Amino acid sequence: MDWQALGLSVKLSAVTVLILIPFAIWVGRFLAYRQFRGKSWIEALIMVPLVLPPTVIGYYLLVGLGSQSWLGQLLEQLLGQQLVFHFSGLVVASVLVNIPFAIQPIQRAFEAVPEEVRDAAACCGMSPIKALTKIELPLVWPGVLTALVLCFSHVLGEFGVVLMMGGNIAGETKTIAISIYDSVQAFDFASAGQMSLVLLLFAITALALTTSLSRRLGGLNVSRRR
């Protein structure tokens, strides 16, 4: 059992979720309430990571952010640290890959908030920020929770991107999925089996918890709404 790799994966998941969820709340809300030209193109763009193979994303990141690209060189000068083969690069990759998993559920949840409720809040003189925190977020929070769990679990299992641009360095970019792959390559099936089981149990628990939580809370919201 490679605890270092598991720890690294959990850290990567947590950092990704912390960055992505506030961003997704902002974008998801914007897309739910606004109609504008080219909206379906923006939505399509957001969904792209869902259909691209992770190795393609990993390839673009390796070439686009590597030390041979101008962008990679610029970022390296600004940050004092190159992104590829480094934990920060994995964060960038995870955030990009998980955009659809974060925005989709949150956007749907905002779309389900009745317009009258928002109008009522505005009529009562609530500021947009107050309306968001007091009225909308309590209503959309099952969507936020779903996004959070989806992203967290998805990062834990991310493989192709990390393989392409991570470099498989212990303690830095060797995540649990890479460690499982390594164990299998080394005929260490006991270790691979243990780690796979941990991931499987985690995935089932996380999904079961989200489903039951959002059913309870979501059910409340729906009954209140109707």
Our CB check for other proteins shows the closer of 58 and 143 to be 58
**Measured distance CA(47)–CA(215) in Å, rounded:** 26
Q: Which stretch binds other proteins (CB under 8 A): 112-120, 122-130, 178-186, 211-219?
A: 178-186
Which is nearest to 102 in space by CA: 33, 181, 46, 179?
Answer: 46
CB of 33 within 8 A of CB of 114? no
Our CB check for other proteins shows the closer of 35 and 185 to be 185
**Measured distance CA(83)–CA(92) in Å, rounded:** 8
Residue 85 contacts other proteins per CB under 8 A: yes
Q: Which stretch binds other proteins (CB under 8 A): 63-71, 125-133, 137-145, 153-161?
A: 63-71
Residue 185 contacts other proteins per CB under 8 A: yes
User: Coil, helix or strand for 158?
Assistant: coil
Residue 43 contacts other proteins per CB under 8 A: no
Count helices and strands (H / E) in the chain. 11, 0
User: Coil, helix or strand for 112?
Assistant: coil
Distances (CA, A) of 159 to 21, 89, 145: 21, 14, 24
Pick out residues in 87-116 that bind other proteins (CB under 8 A). 87-88
**Measured distance CA(137)–CA(118) in Å, rounded:** 12
Residue 69 has what DSSP assignment?
Answer: S
Residue 14 contacts other proteins per CB under 8 A: yes
Residue 20 contacts other proteins per CB under 8 A: no
Our CB check for other proteins shows the closer of 16 and 221 to be 16
CB of 152 within 8 A of CB of 13? yes
Residue 58 contacts other proteins per CB under 8 A: no
Choosing from 48, 68, 116, 216, the residue that interacts with other proteins (CB under 8 A) is 68
Choosing from 42, 48, 50, 67, the residue that interacts with other proteins (CB under 8 A) is 67
Our CB check for other proteins shows the closer of 55 and 211 to be 55
**Would you tell me which residues interact with other proteins (CB under 8 A)?**
11, 14-15, 62-63, 66-68, 72, 82, 84-88, 165, 167-172, 174, 182, 184-188
